[in-house]
A and B are shown apart, each in its own frame.
Chain A
């Protein structure tokens, strides 16, 4: 049955003057694509099921194959709950499916297409070897509950990656199961909370710098802590004095990002850690920016108690348009023994053990003198195996020399951008010295009400993904530019030329910037309308399109 029974589709209006409209709405390689609900129907499928091998097969199979009777009417074991109502799922044949998703893919920008300088996100090249090894059947096609003797290689991968993460960070232990950075933050804070509870110390407050990523305060609140913010000083660093003044018996932890979200190293990190420890608290480090120091600095030497590592940033696992990620958390000796279950541990006999609830106590007795007291499970299985294989291949490919070179080139590229642009863009912290792996600019000096958003949208027209905008909150109209080490000098030079010209136009107050982009698959989108009257699932439209959204009179179009 057709799902879009009215057959209605939104018109693709002809654009402004000078734009010759086409019948299809397509413009050469810029291709429009309807929703699957508009082109698919419930009688079409792109999957064939082979007939059962044995002769005289049960009729239930036959009817299921033919699609005439989706379920055997008798002999089924579905009780009274067999589905009768239509689900309303559109199907397409394989060629139509391949075309739908290929056409849509062309409306996306990606690292494979060019520089993607999204500060804090570390959009570096994703090596294809890593994709290949993750797909080896011995990794891709194993079940999380398979008996341990059939998955020794997988446990070895986890153990080997864990070993290198500890080596690279100089920490004591690592929890591998967290699913992304924010999940890692949760893991680290739960270890800290467990450690405090174990010593009967109920503390209520977590201190988070103003410049922190939103996940930091959100995580702290999720763990039941009250969040208090600590100011950033004029040099873009944590205000050490304000921090020290606030420390006390109620502070459970301080969450610091280092290198911080202004792209600067916190030179007082060790002093901060010492002060927090002296006051009985713990130090959480947001390791999202580890790329700047990997192979050069070990967070373990800075007094940190817990730090997540976004494998999808520093260790190049692809971001996939929003995920998946992986967020292992390295831990200090003081809190390692609270790490979540399950964990992996190799014993002297070379066997790698997967420690779940069941073995936890006994294994702890036998191998850790009884100290392991995991706070519990954070996810159903053992973490993001598909990301572990990729990250391990990345680490082994680079080696000790290559990883240090990664940090050096990432920092060099960022400083090159900073110094090539600081005469046309306000760089609030440039005076205080070099940046680390990302350069931050503000909107100071833009004329005529031109904003950071306008500049970003103009970069789109130049064929680049914009930088991170309006983050961190401590810089007005912030633009956080992170080129990463996988960009060539030629690519940087082209980006610099484009950004310079846009910055000059912004300072001159060029009104045209306010309508950028004009060359992208879409002009600016009406976000106010989207939030005011949310349409977040497909609904068959009325034939005349009467129930369709009308643009909002105001808003950020």
Chain B
């Protein structure tokens, strides 16, 4: 077996050193009744690299990659171009095959990267500090609600109707067990967000208001009035960003008073990968850092006075605090954080702003063209690279009909909000820098055909 270096001669010599007559003797603590007598049933025996690659390639061919068709899906995961050097660098064995940096003297590479990542994330989200990553945006979101509960000692979270419905589901699952109550609502196909409802719902029991920015329909809302209302009642504002590229074009949530800003970092450096692994972003005010979940890298010096980095503030974490920890998270999304950080370094301020401008300009153009199709209405007044159309027909079958025409034309609200009549004609269309003029022509033509 190509991955196992011991030879039979090695095994015999080692058994002799150990003083065991056979390998079975080493398994003697396992009761006989629980030991399998031969190879496990069902699974074939080992296979060559060639055979496995063939099998996996055949499976991969049954999927339609985003890069091979006109592609307009968003709603929490976005197709962006990732520079070739990102994937090259994250495959360096020193990053790929290292563990969590528990021994800082021989993990300065990972630790400095995490420190840089935290700094980039904090700046991008407009916060003072950030952690070294969470699993993804949705789990970061419910961790933020838990953190707000600990800080305010209150248990009611007011959730915007514009929060991704899968994120809402995750929060609902957790709330059932943590004792939080969630005030939720369904979105409406209007240009206005539900800022007014949120402000009205804040009371003295409220731990936090949770607002996605831009929201699930692509709308952008001013967070400042919501932050002011929350703060006046002693509650926090949690902002959720699922498309971080947007922050190259619009103000950061932290600038508008958000206390905790979480996000899905996939857009920057991490491929679509059918939903994971992604990278959860988590940033907050410095004064709340001891309530933050997850690992944190911090600056220090070594015994010779040289600057170096270590994992720090670990008295928040499970390996020290056990049942009193701020979270149970251990393994996070380290390598995806590295990819995010490399891509962000390549972009820099200038590149991020250009990328954001390009996305926005492209989206504005496409929105205008699609809204000109008879019967199709653009719901949004404001958007970044994603907007919602109201079709004259149900969007879900329209999406499938577009697949038949070779176009992945968007995410139907019927998929995200099954059974909700008022939303069934909604189609969310994301337009990034990867979209070509031919793609837009194809989408326009396909949509024209399927809405009649």
Contacts and interface: CB of A to CB of B under 8 A. Distances in A.
A45 B77 CA distance: 24
Contact of B61 (A153, A293, A298): A153
Contacts of A368: none
Interface stretch (B6-14, B150-158, B201-209, B443-451): B6-14
B335 to A, nearest CB: 3
Interface centre among B36, B301, B333 (most CB of A within 10 A): B301
A297 B34 contact: yes
Interface stretch (B182-190, B231-239, B345-353): B345-353
A36 interface: yes
A4 to B, nearest CB: 12
A101 B89 contact: yes
A131 B35 CA distance: 33
A79 interface: yes
Interface string B27-52: 11111011110011111111101011
A91 B400 contact: no
Contact of B59 (A64, A153, A218, A522): A153
B123 interface: yes
Contacts of A139: 56, 60, 63, 273-274
Interface size bracket, A side: 35 or more
Given A91-B351, A149-B403, A381-B275, A521 B105 contact: yes
A283 interface: no
B358 interface: yes
Interface string A384-423: 1111010011011111111111101101110110111000
Given A167-B41, A179-B277, 9 more contacts: A60-B357, A137-B60, A154-B59, A214-B320, A218-B325, A221-B328, A323-B133, A323-B135, A375-B173
Nearest to B352: A89
A129 B65 contact: no
Interface string A80-117: 11111111111110100110111011111111110010
A132 interface: yes
11 contacts: A10-B307, A36-B345, A97-B85, A154-B274, A293-B30, A321-B99, A322-B99, A387-B277, A489-B13, A531-B312, A536-B299
A113 B320 contact: no
Contacts of A515: 303
Nearest to A112: B93
Interface string A29-60: 00001011100111111110100111000101
Interface stretch (A12-20, A241-249, A497-505): A12-20
Interface centre among B58, B94, B130, B328 (most CB of A within 10 A): B328
Contacts of A386: 271, 273, 276-277
A312 interface: yes
Given A109-B98, A110-B93, A323 B301 contact: no
B49 A143 contact: no
Interface stretch (A185-193, A329-337, A443-451): A185-193
A276 to B, nearest CB: 17
Given A145-B415, A265-B29, A105 B335 contact: no
B120 to A, nearest CB: 6
A230 interface: no
Given A108-B94, A145-B75, A416-B14, A323 B277 contact: yes
Contacts of A240: none
B349 A534 contact: no
Contact of A71 (B27, B249, B289): B249
A218 B328 contact: yes
B181 interface: no
Contacts of B104: 522, 525
B92 A83 contact: no
B323 A217 contact: yes
B103 A409 contact: no
Given A138-B62, A383-B276, A318 B96 contact: yes
